[in-house]
């Protein structure tokens, strides 16, 4: 079923503005902030002594300051600021959040070890007795210790091997302890940090840093979703079985065109019914958004996605978004190749219908295990026929052999492959293989657009 494709293409055409990645300015700003923190430490370090205790204590102060700064960056990257996610990409922001968390926790551990080691060396005492004295005697240290333990727990459950063994819901709700940990450790920084005790300007800057990150978090993670859902009142209209294990959920609501959603984007969906109301999962729009209707298409890959096929009409829906940067705004070439696999076909289907182009400009390559797994295939054929686009598929052979995406095959299909923008969405293995083949086939990195929703 085609969803108002011409109108959607006109809207998409207006939205196309080749953009530079927002990653570099943000990285520069983050490193500039880290440099300012180091300058603050240097300003408050009158003399660097060769004494071991002084060295350990000074290094402990520096790692503590950087850990506190890193925690603020972690909070900022949790806020899901739309401008940041659109220009940088939701998956990259999520990776940066995880990386910042690892750095912050590592610096926190280094801070505790170095400071305690410095004090123990200076007092000529053992490490453990000194650690007990620091925790029990210094102001706000009990709270800071609890916060640090919470950060360690969060870091542990977020580690790859552990994360894969936990359900998304368990990981998500444990991850919310980050807010408690941030609150508990913040006051310790101001109460005992040499740089803040006698420096009102530094304290003010720290309040602004944390207050700004916290305000963005509250606005975009709490107030904005509340406003969105009160305004649009979304509910399940119906479900449609598209292929074995694949279901589309049609969602109706009020003035949905004012959501500002674009083909290629996704929302985090929470269906307010038994067994699903506590789960929030990312699913892409599988058709251009309409003023009265949104559609997602989901492949059963766990309890949550399997349960969507049993949704009753009228089920209330809570949504957050739209998120994602894999939209028409990334396009810079006239010709476009889309490579999709598995659930990655959903955003590609919406882009396939709406990306402006003349006959022959658009090509969609759909990778699946079997022809029966080609979800939305009838719709894709209708779109290809109506638009003069190329629709190709690659499925495993009768013996189970997977057709490889190779540079030679890509050049055979599209001799001018180097002049294409390429959108890739699918499992990690497909994305990696496609990227390597595309680069070897002559496609510049800046013309390859990929976003993963496995967050």
pLDDT digits (tens, 9 = 90+) for 369-410: 888 888 899 999 999 999 999 999 988 877 667 788 899 999
What is the per-residue pLDDT for 84? 82
Report, as ranges of residue numbers, the positions in the chain whose pLDDT lies below 70: 1-22, 46-50, 302-303, 399-400, 452-455
What is the per-residue pLDDT for 12? 43
What is the per-residue pLDDT for 14? 43
Q: Give the pair of three-digit tokens for residue 373.
A: 């797994």
Residues 111-128 have pLDDT tens digits of 999 999 999 999 999 999
What is the per-residue pLDDT for 22? 61
367 pairs with which residues across the strands?
341, 394
What is the per-residue pLDDT for 16? 38
Residues 421-446 have pLDDT tens digits of 999 998 888 889 999 999 999 999 98
């Amino acid at each position: 079923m085609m969803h108002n494709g011409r109108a959607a293409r006109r809207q998409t055409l207006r939205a196309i503005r080749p953009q530079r990645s927002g990653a570099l300015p943000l990285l520069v700003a983050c490193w500039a902030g880290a440099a300012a923190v180091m300058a603050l430490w240097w300003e408050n370090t009158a003399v660097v002594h060769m004494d071991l205790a002084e060295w350990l204590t000074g290094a402990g102060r520096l790692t503590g300051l950087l850990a506190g700064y890193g925690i603020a960056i972690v909070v900022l990257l949790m806020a899901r600021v739309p401008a940041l996610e659109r220009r940088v990409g939701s998956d990259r922001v999520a990776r940066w959040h995880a990386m910042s968390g690892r750095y912050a926790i590592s610096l926190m551990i280094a801070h505790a070890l170095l400071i305690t080691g410095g004090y123990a060396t200076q007092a000529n005492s053992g490490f453990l007795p000194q650690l007990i004295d620091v925790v029990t005697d210094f102001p706000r240290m009990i709270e800071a210790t609890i916060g640090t333990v919470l950060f360690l727990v969060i870091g542990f459950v977020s580690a790859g091997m552990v994360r894969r063994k936990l359900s998304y819901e368990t990981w998500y709700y444990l991850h919310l302890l980050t807010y408690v940990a941030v609150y508990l450790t913040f006051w310790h920084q101001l109460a005992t940090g040499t740089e803040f005790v006698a420096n009102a300007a530094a304290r003010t800057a720290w309040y602004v840093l944390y207050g700004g990150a916290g305000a963005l978090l509250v606005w975009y993670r709490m107030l904005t979703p509340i406003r969105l859902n009160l305004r649009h009142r979304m509910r399940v209209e119906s479900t449609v079985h598209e292929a074995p294990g694949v279901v589309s959920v049609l969602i109706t609501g009020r003035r949905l065109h004012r959501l500002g959603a674009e083909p290629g984007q996704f929302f985090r969906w929470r269906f307010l019914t038994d067994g699903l109301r506590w789960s929030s999962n990312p699913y892409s729009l599988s058709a251009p958004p309409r003023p009265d209707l949104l559609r997602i298409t989901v492949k059963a890959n766990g309890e949550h996605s399997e349960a969507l096929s049993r949704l009753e009409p009228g089920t209330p829906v809570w949504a957050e978004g739209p998120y994602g940067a894999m939209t028409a705004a990334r396009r810079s070439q006239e010709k476009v190749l889309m490579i999709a696999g598995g659930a990655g076909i959903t955003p590609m289907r919406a882009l396939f219908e709406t990306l402006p182009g003349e006959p022959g400009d658009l090509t969609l390559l759909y990778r699946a295990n079997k022809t029966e797994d080609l979800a939305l295939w009838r719709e894709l054929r209708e779109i290809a026929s109506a638009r003069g686009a190329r629709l190709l598929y690659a499925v495993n052979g009768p013996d189970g052999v997977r057709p490889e995406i190779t540079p030679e095959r890509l050049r055979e299909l599209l001799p001018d492959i180097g002049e294409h923008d390429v959108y890739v969405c699918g499992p990690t293995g497909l994305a990696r293989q496609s990227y390597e083949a595309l680069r070897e086939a002559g496609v510049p990195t800046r013309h390859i657009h990929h976003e993963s929703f496995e967050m």
